[in-house]
Amino acid sequence: MSAFFADHARLADGWRRNVLLEWDDDGTLVRVAPDSAAPAGAERAKGPVVPGMPNLHSHAFQRAMAGLTEYRASVADTFWSWRDLMYRFAARIGPESLADIAHWLYIEMLKAGYTSVCEFHYVHHAPGGAPYANRAELAERVVDAAGRAGIGITMLPVLYEHGGFNKAAPRDDQRRFLNTPDALLALIDSLARARPENGMRRYGVAPHSLRAVSGESLAAVLEGLDARFDRAPVHIHVAEQTAEVEACVAATGRRPVQWLLDHFNVDERWCLVHATHIDAGECARLAGSGAVAGLCLTTEANLGDGVFPSRDYLDVGGRIGVGSDSHVGVDWRSELRLLEYGQRLCRQQRNVLASPTQSRPADRLFDAALDGGAHATRRPVGALSQGMRADWLVLDDAHPGIGGHAPETWLSSAVFCEHGDTPVRDVFVSGRKVIDARRHAQEDEALARYRAALRGLLD
């Protein structure tokens, strides 16, 4: 049993004083007791403690192309022209480079205060499209990178079959992504055999999008998943672009979110990534389903996706979480800030995402993203309470945005204000201190390898 003591910690009922955290050898919290005395010998937090944030959407390899597509390549650059460049980059990824990129990325996530990641993993095969001798080669590299860095992972191997609606033939540059439902389930089997689930990793599935997966295949892969795991997570990209909505209506007569809600039992084990373009009816139904809307604000802004109707969705009780997706930003603070700022810019108002019970948007969005993010990982994370994994962040008392502030404004300051360094000082995952004074023990070596991998890819 281990113990940690915090003068201030954010529990389910808000900021509490003198909180004692105790956890067992498996990294699970066995006691969270406010108004306690500090036991002799227990480590003491050097600032306010908050739960670690789950990152619900990541394509790890894309970290290495951040910044490389910020130039005008055609008269009207769009998501689709970005995707062409991204596919060209994906074509160069190999087992070694992916391992090095993911390892460095996951260290960056930990430093920012993400303690879990959901990896939406779709580059499966060798360049050209032939499976590796081990079908799960690349997925295994990513899972191992997470293990080395010390971040919890929900690995979601992606089912990708078609190049567009109506089972359009895949493009050549999509060959590395392709699997049938059976082949994908075989990949998951071999992965789960080689790297069994434990307190730090869990498996699920990600049908890429309604563009890439037919209704029958989606049903088949879910059936296979349910035969193997207990209510494993299901993540899907949906309604990110208006062109997708139009193509879906043309092919099926329904909008993508509507189609999904009409054909599948979409509930809290689902994460609908982006769901940007939803109408009022879809908004209410999605909120009522219990599914998580996986919002990736920095990527959605970067790709010119549009603005998710977060005010309306949150008002009717919708569940949200945040993800860093293409990793142009790797910080939950930027995601939450942009979530509020998108609404401010559209509505010419301030503090739009406050609620009747939480007048500060940062507090409300932080709590909401913990809850939705935890649902998306389908692990006991996202709160400091008994039975949860011992994941937390220590905000730095010495940071200008924290020290000197009263507890009411700690999160507002963290989310909306920049003072150079992140306010996240120390990070614990499963009871292990993985970031100590903003440093990860492997970061120098990981950065050197990342830089070498990048040089190789850009050659």
Task: List binders of ligand NGQ among 228-267 (CB under 6 A).
Answer: 237, 240
Least separation in angstroms between residue 303's CB and ligand NGQ is 6
Catalytic residue status for 274: yes
Least separation in angstroms between residue 331's CB and Zn ion is 17
Instruction: State how far the Cα of 437 lies from the Cα of 432, in Å rounded to an integer.
Output: 14
299 touching ligand NGQ, by CB under 6 A = yes
> Which of the following is catalytic: 100, 325, 367, 371?
325
Least separation in angstroms between residue 285's CB and ligand NGQ is 22
Closest to ligand NGQ by CB, 61 vs 366, is 61
By rule CB under 6 A, what count of residues binds ligand NGQ? 9
Instruction: State how far the Cα of 32 lies from the Cα of 54, in Å rounded to an integer.
Output: 20
Task: List binders of ligand NGQ among 80-99 (CB under 6 A).
Answer: 83
Structure tokens, 326: 């293409």
Closest to ligand NGQ by CB, 69 vs 209, is 209
With CB cut-offs between 5 and 8 Å by kind, which of ligand NGQ, Zn ion, none does residue 422 bind? none
**Which listed residue (8, 16, 59, 235) binds ligand NGQ by CB under 6 A?**
59
Catalytic residue status for 25: no
Region of 205 on the Ramachandran plot (φ > 0 left; ψ -120 to 50 alpha; else beta): beta
> Which of the following is catalytic: 274, 327, 375, 405?
274
Least separation in angstroms between residue 58's CB and Zn ion is 8
Closest to ligand NGQ by CB, 295 vs 352, is 295
Task: List binders of ligand NGQ among 175-204 (CB under 6 A).
Answer: none
Task: List binders of Zn ion among 314-353 (CB under 5 A).
Answer: 325
Least separation in angstroms between residue 222's CB and Zn ion is 19
Residue whose tokens read 């808000």: 14
Question: Residues 318-357: x/- map of binding to ligand NGQ (CB under 6 A)?
Answer: -------xx-------------------------------
Residues within the interface to ligand NGQ (CB under 6 A) = 59, 83, 209, 237, 240, 299, 303, 325-326
Catalytic positions, please?
274, 325
Residues within the interface to Zn ion (CB under 5 A) = 325
